[in-house]
Amino acid sequence: MMEVKKMKHSDSITSVQFAIIIAGTILGVSMLALPRFVVEKAGNAAPLASLVGILITLIGLIGLLYLGRRFPNHTFVGYSKVLIGKVFGTFIMVVFLIAALILIGLETRQFAEVLVGGLLPDTPIHFSIFAMLFLCAIINFGNVSSFAYIHLFYFPMIVSPLLSVLLPSFKDIEYYHLLPITGNEVTLSQFMSGAVVIMAAVSNYYILSMVIPYLKNPKKCVSAGIWGFLLSIFFVLLLVIVSLGIFGEIKIQEMLWSTLILARMVEVPGEILARIDAIFIISWIFAVFTTLLSYYFIVVRGVAEILNTTKYRFISFVTLMISFFIALFPKDIYDVYTFLSYFWTGSVMFYFVYVFFLLAIAKFRRMKGSI
């Protein structure tokens, strides 16, 4: 059993930083294509399906937060081994880390496809993939407070351009696109498929399970975690509503990156800014970086804890090399989305069940860590 000892003050994070880490991780690569995928599954019931998916995801988040508060000196890796045994707990965590590693590769490829297709068409896709992975790999993962400061620094640069796209777009919404809110002849299966898409897109909050031990006051992790989740979900839900309201159910399914098209439609009074979409893409790059950085943190710190080592730099560069080859595996962007759809759906269901399995064991065996 590996227990995280009490951290020095210089390597601890505040509740605000904790909330921003969760919000910055959720707002990432999927923002560009998410509205289209939800509408494709649930039709014009997409906003309601999104809300249902968000509420189900919130239940999973609260379960994970209560586990973290119950074992405040342990990470996800640590209390998995405590609750279900070292061998089985380590095996599950290896699977968890492999999943995070695959996500790094696939989401980096998605980022590179958008960058090459929408902003830098002459840039080799290999270069875009390597540049983003290298940028994540050189971060000092030995210092958790530095990781938190990076999230805190970039968060305003992510949400400000997002608001600059969403708020002016309200005037263009055709509200009949949103009616009826339960959809036009949408079956329960289609409705829940849309909810699952949202669940998959916003369930990457598992970074919190690796940083709770570094909170200055771990008892506040539940409230801070919920606020961070709600902050990011506000933008996700707004994005789905605005995109569907403007483009409609049929037209939005003809678009690959509906949010990017939405950004190109925005006009600033006085023509102060001619290319809002370019500014939005830059902010989206920051969002991709913070999301991938969280995945990197999970992999690097998780592997280091399993191997009982502090060679974070070495692990991060091994992660870079493996992720680079994973990113090159899909043939094109459609291949990427096919892999992600299966992978997201399977992994989110597994982790949802696993969290409550651990919580049930902790309650049944009356096991609890100490602060």
pLDDT of residue 148: 94
DSSP string covering 28-71: SGGGTTHHHHHHHHHGGGHHHHHHHHHHHHHHHHHHHHHHHHHS
Q: How many residues does the chain have?
A: 371
pLDDT of residue 269: 55
pLDDT of residue 5: 45
DSSP string covering 95-125: HHHHHHHHHHHHHHHHHHHHHHHHT-TTS-H
pLDDT of residue 184: 84
pLDDT in tens, 99-129: 999 999 999 999 998 888 767 778 889 999 9
| Domain 12-364 top-level CATH class | mainly alpha
Q: With 0-12 CB in 10 A as exposed, 13-18 as middle and 19+ as buried, what is 11?
A: middle
- Cα atoms in the 13 Å half-sphere on the side-chain side of 244: 32
pLDDT of residue 9: 46
pLDDT in tens, 209-249: 899 999 998 888 999 999 999 999 999 999 999 999 999 99
Q: How far apart are CA 129 and CA 108, in angstroms?
A: 6
Q: What is the pTM of this model?
A: 0.90
CB distance 92 to 237 below 8 Å: no
Q: Please list the ranges in the chain whose pLDDT falls under 70.
A: 1-10, 118, 267-276, 369-371
